[in-house]
């Protein structure tokens, strides 16, 4: 396996995936790279279900368009805040208009003390090999929600998600990959793919 399709056109996710998987010599392709337009309804109740919906939709779209199968992986991730009963969870991407997620979250947590601002990022990845066989890997990152947005390197909820004394948006990409939920899930995918590179 020398090529792997990531079911996304998100430049940030692609960059992270390529950085982590590059030592395996696998070329990670976006949907745009293979001219596939696929945006399935992610109506699963869990991150795993949504990742599976995306991976299967892209896998089938490739087969329909090119008459052959390619290995595909898809991720679904989100923020689970304890003070919000685990929300926004699977609705993280739809929680607020793009660019306003942090502001809404800070507003909802106004007055909540530090000890109750615990949260975690969760990422689930579903990998389908050329035959359609499925594997799942997961990653989590524990942290807390800060009281203000800090940093310019991240996206989504990164500016308010604090690990140690830094927000995700204050970390370098190397620091973030070392602790992030997607980094943990991608490293688990790396280990899974190590045994499949020569298949």
Q: 17 — phi, psi (to 5°)?
A: -65, -45
Q: Are 134 and 144 in contact (CB under 8 A)?
A: no
Question: C-alpha distances in angstroms, 103 versus 107, 150, 152, 171, 172?
Answer: 6, 12, 15, 20, 23
Residue of 33, 41, 64, 76 marked active site = 76
76 is catalytic: yes
User: Cα(75)–Cα(43) distance, rounded to whole angstroms?
Assistant: 14
Q: What residues are labeled active site?
A: 76
């Amino acid at each position: 396996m020398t090529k792997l399709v990531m079911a996304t056109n998100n430049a940030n996710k692609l960059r992270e995936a390529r950085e982590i998987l590059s030592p395996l010599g696998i070329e990670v392709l976006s949907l745009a790279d293979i001219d596939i337009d696929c945006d399935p309804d992610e109506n699963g109740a869990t991150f795993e279900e949504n990742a599976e919906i995306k991976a299967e939709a892209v896998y089938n779209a490739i087969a329909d368009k090119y008459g052959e199968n390619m290995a595909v992986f898809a991720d679904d991730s989100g923020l689970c805040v304890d003070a919000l009963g685990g929300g926004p969870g699977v609705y993280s991407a739809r929680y607020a208009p793009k660019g306003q997620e942090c502001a809404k979250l800070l507003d909802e947590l106004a007055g909540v003390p530090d000890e109750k601002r615990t949260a975690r990022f969760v990422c689930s990845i579903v990998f389908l090999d050329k035959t359609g066989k499925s594997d799942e890997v997961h990653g989590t990152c524990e942290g807390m929600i800060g009281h203000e947005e800090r940093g310019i390197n991240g996206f989504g909820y990164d500016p308010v998600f604090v690990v140690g004394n830094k927000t995700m948006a204050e970390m370098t990409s190397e620091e973030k990959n070392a602790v992030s939920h997607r980094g943990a899930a991608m490293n688990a995918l790396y280990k899974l793919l190590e045994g499949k590179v020569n298949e």
